[in-house]
Amino acid sequence: APVVAVVGRPNVGKSTLVNRILGRREAVVEDVPGVTRDRVAYDAAWSGRRFTVVDTGGWLPDSAGLAAAIAEQARLAVDLADVVMFVVDATVGATDVDEAVVEILRRSGKPVVLVANKVDNAATEADAAALWSLGIGEPHPVSALHGRASGDLLDAVLAALPEEAPPETFLELGGPRRIALLGRPNVGKSSLLNQLAGETRAVVDSVAGTTRDPVDELIDLGGRTWRFIDTAGIRRRHRENQGADFYATLRTRSALERAEVAVVLVDGSEQLAEQDLRIISMVVESGRALVIAYNKWDLLDEERRHYLEREIERQLHHVRWAPRVNVSAKTGRHMDRFVPAIDTALDGWGTRVPTSKLNQFFADLVSSHPHPVRGGKQPRVLFATQAGVRPPRFVLFTSGFLEEGYRRFIERRLREEFGFPGAPLDIAMKIRE
Ligand code: GDP
């Protein structure tokens, strides 16, 4: 969701305004510099458009002087926001500090909505008009406390937001959920398809009007219909294996493009191969949901089973969040576990964490496990937002570069807190030096 940052001197009524926008009382109304707030970001909506409101008042460093602190706040807001709401107390008028903030906002080129607050009655309207002098456009007179004209203000904010990104096309298709069944040759993909499909198989062209590759199959499992991507490629028995690595990779890639979830089949009776790991990496990079299925379980003896656990721990540690099933395409063992595993992965893949919860989480994390001090500096996560789902995508606004170990720690803690089974996470950093 786009980010709207609220900037302004203490006591101009930022938090009251945020509460007014939310239509509920969530922001802490206590506009004193140095007050530490653990929540600064909130999910809001107006006219059907969702956005995130960030109350930058929570970031005021107490050591700096007022002017410096506000300037800092404005710079942060400018970095992370799509639109800045700059709040001025109309009854006080523009101060030097306000002028300094305007300078920063103007240089940024970000859209700014000027809010003339505390215009509680018609008598103070003239105070609002005086704020034209700031030179950043029309002052919107509101009374955050009494709600006066806040609808007009929000209309102005919406008008300044960037165009809504169109949804990804493959999600628009609707219909059955799409599964790519992947794996190197001979792990049992074709056998598994036969087991799963039984009598109910229906072959469909993936693209209307084309009769060529790839051809998908609609398969009923667990009372629902699923679309298995490019099963023609799996069932075709011509063994193009010699030197066909390149084509296999291409095929996997194009199957992943159209799939939502990948089931990577590996041969449990053999050691994990380089190619298995490569396929798993391709899934992770594609951002699709992942399920790992160990096949040929009927061939495993006690010793192999024992060794397998250690092999998984060692080689699949980086994808330990992926649901795993141990099956046999030959005997039909655990065929009923596929659907729950796929559902789990699709759920995790589509999980959205409310912004307020996410920022509560980071506030706790930053205070309980701060980043190590490097070169006299200690980078912090200032604010986080989930930019999307399928897979879950996060943007962290930080005050410096977070080292690899700390980023991994963040991912681990995010998973512990919110789950995301089966979902690769995309965590981006936006650094404000
Ligand atoms: P694909 O290349 O991945 O499609 O693999 P196939 O389905 O053609 O299977 C390769 C070989 O493994 C065939 O000889 C199958 O009969 C055998 N196979 C597949 N699944 C199992 C299983 O669960 N147990 C055993 N014992 N053999 C299997």
What kind of fold does domain 3-160 have according to CATH?
Rossmann fold (3.40.50)
What are the start and end residues of each CATH 3.40.50.300 domain in the chain?
A: 3-160, 170-349
Q: What is the pLDDT of residue 79?
A: 77
Taking every pair of C-alpha atoms in the chain, what is the biggest distance, in angstroms?
A: 87
Pocket test for ligand 1, best of 184, 191, 252, 335 (most atoms within 8 A of CB): 191
| CATH 3.30.300.20 residue ranges for the chain | 355-431
Residue with the nearest Cα to atom 24 of ligand 1?
296
Q: Give the DSSP letter of residue 21.
A: H
The per-residue pLDDT for 31 is: 47
pTM beyond 0.80, yes or no = no
Domain 170-349 CATH class label: alpha beta
**Average pLDDT, whole number, for the chain?**
85
* Res. 421: pLDDT tops 50: yes
pLDDT higher than 80, residue 205:
no
Domain 355-431 is of which CATH architecture?
2-Layer Sandwich (3.30)
Give yes or no for residue 184 CB within 6 A of ligand 1.
no
Q: Is the C-beta atom of 194 inside 6 A of ligand 1? A: no
Q: What average pLDDT does the segment 149-162 reach?
A: 87
The ipTM is 0.93
- Tell me: cis bond preceding 421? Omega within 30 of 0 counts: no
Which residues does 51 contact at the CB level (< 8 Å), separation at least 6?
A: 1, 2, 3, 4, 44, 45, 82, 157, 161
Pairing of strands 393-398, 426-431: parallel
Whole-angstrom CA distances from 7 to 78, 83, 114 are 9, 11, 10
Q: Check if the beta carbon of residue 182 is closer than 8 Å to that of residue 276.
A: no
328 CB less than 6 Å from ligand 1? yes
Average pLDDT over residues 143-160: 86
pLDDT tier for residue 85 given thresholds of 50, 70 and 90: very high
What is the arithmetic mean of pLDDT over 377-392?
90
Chain segment 24-70, per-residue pLDDT in tens? 666 655 544 444 444 577 888 888 888 888 877 655 555 567 777 77
